[in-house]
Amino acid sequence: MRYRQIATSLLILLPALAACLFWGHTINQPLIDQHAFRQTQTAITALFMQPGLDGFINYQTPTIGSPWAIPFELPLFQWLAHGLERLLPLNLSACGRLLSAGFGIACLGPALGLLDRYGTRAAGKVCFSFIYFSSAIYLYWNRSFMIESTALFFTLSSLYLYSLVRSPESSRPQPWRQPLLLTGFALSLSFSLLVKATTGLPILLLIIIDLIWQLIRVFRKEGNDPRATFMRLLPIATAALTALLLLKVWTSHADNLKALNPIGSKLTSAALNQWNYGSLAQRFSGDLWNDVLLQRMLTPLGAIPAALLLFTSLLHSRNPQQKGFIVACLCLAALPLVIFTNLHIVHSYYQSSNEIFLILALSASFDGFIQAFTPRWHKMAAIVAITLFALGNYQEFKSNYLASTQEQSSVRLEIGQLIQRRTPADSAILIFGDDWSSELAYHSQRRSLTRPDWPIPDVNQTTILQQPSRFLGGQKLGAVISKDAIANPGNLNQSCSPDETLIFDKWTVYLCKS
């Protein structure tokens, strides 16, 4: 038995080791790969993280001018990346990638715990490790400077702890165990929602539905004590609602800070409603069900084998608890797609929040299939299905991700490095023609006003160039970067007095006279 446990542990760890080797090999890549817009937005927050509680709660993302605070998520990941850079002989970009990979590996713990809770044996756990660490989504995005793996870790942890605390046996035989589990559940769910609400909210919804269902079941059965069940579930419901209240308080605080900035006022939660949720037409579109579900999550090669495995396991599994777990995981894999539809269509990294539940469902199904059928060829069919799913992911990774992991230079990186060398460290920059991306600001390590592409009253190129200090919090202007020709060169000469003008592809860089 001991040798079997050792063999199982090794089979679980080997795929993780292979992924770690790849992540380590690409850890020093500059933040110029896919969705660099979002990666550098996270990174520039870490770069300019101020000390103390005020610096944490009112953190700065100095990309759209003064005042510099435009908070979205609670900056736990950014704060940790900032601290890690001070401890390790690595640059900030590498520290962020390392931290993201670390949380990605840590997701293995609660995920395996969930499988164990719902009757999955060694075969299913090995299967999970194999397809999780071969997933194109996790191979790529777990190495990015992003909050995805951090939010996912806390989400899985909250779900695992909930599975423990909801059980009537959780307080027996050790009475102290229940308060400890409840505290861990409350903290992990709160961090899940605060670090990335779109990752944690589907879990919270499932928990609320499950709590209501447990009460309904008690009232439907004679001989049960509804009061005892209600008193047992009340602390759990209180913890869940407390986490939701904290999210509401944080969102209100973040919106109030954004409203102080004329550009940030267009980025409040209310202003982004349509962007976050999308339209009804999108929920029935090929962009969602073909491009997101089939192409990114299932992959064309793995879709049919995965569907057959899931269906057959649900049909023949003799473990009702495991069946319920598979159904719940499939709901959690699909629910974010129909809630945050536009976000999932536009951003390929958003599937980090729900792909893992598809993998959990497949792993439990594989294990259930092995338990339900005795003929060897049936077991071989399950192995073939999982292998095809993994091969589909490797094919997806090779086609859409691999090349971007090998990029080492870009125009924006060159411009940023030039500005870092040629402008004072305490100066700020103006950027036109790059929407509100943080890429140029982060690579130059300068605060910036990156003027968005959308219309903003009284914040146009002319007014900005006429009074740059008004938009830069009084900081000296170090450079102006523009993709298109400056509309009024006179304003540029007045505000910047260019000492040198340089051309980078479609970009023009005006280095201001010091």
The helix/strand/coil state of 19 is helix
CA distance 74 to 193: 9
Alpha-carbon torsion angle 188, 190, 196, 198, nearest 10? 100
CA distance 475 to 488: 22
How is 260-296 classified by DSSP, letter by letter? TSTTGGGGSTTTTHHHHH--HHHHTSHIIIIIIIIII
pLDDT tens sequence across 298-357: 999 999 999 999 998 888 877 888 899 999 999 999 999 999 999 999 999 999 999 999
> Which residue has better confidence, 217 or 246?
246
Only one residue has tokens 């990941």, namely: 77
430 DSSP β-pair partners: 449, 480
How is 353-411 classified by DSSP, letter by letter? GTHHHHHHHHHHHHHHHHHH--SHHHHHHHHHHHHHHHHHHHHHHHHHTGGGGG----H
Q: State yes or no: cis peptide before 320, omega within 30 of 0.
A: no
pLDDT tens sequence across 446-485: 999 999 998 888 899 999 999 999 999 999 999 999 998 8
Mean of the pLDDT values across residues 359-374? Answer: 84
The helix/strand/coil state of 193 is helix
447 DSSP β-pair partners: 428
User: How long is the chain?
Assistant: 514
CA distance 431 to 27: 28
CA distance 193 to 375: 45
pLDDT exceeds cutoff 70 at 223 = no
Collect all residues with Cβ–Cβ distance below 8 Å to 415 and sequence separation of at least 6: 440, 443, 444, 481, 504, 507, 509
pLDDT exceeds cutoff 70 at 170 = no
pLDDT tens sequence across 403-419: 999 999 999 999 999 99
Give the number of other CB atoms < 10 A from CB of residue 273. 10
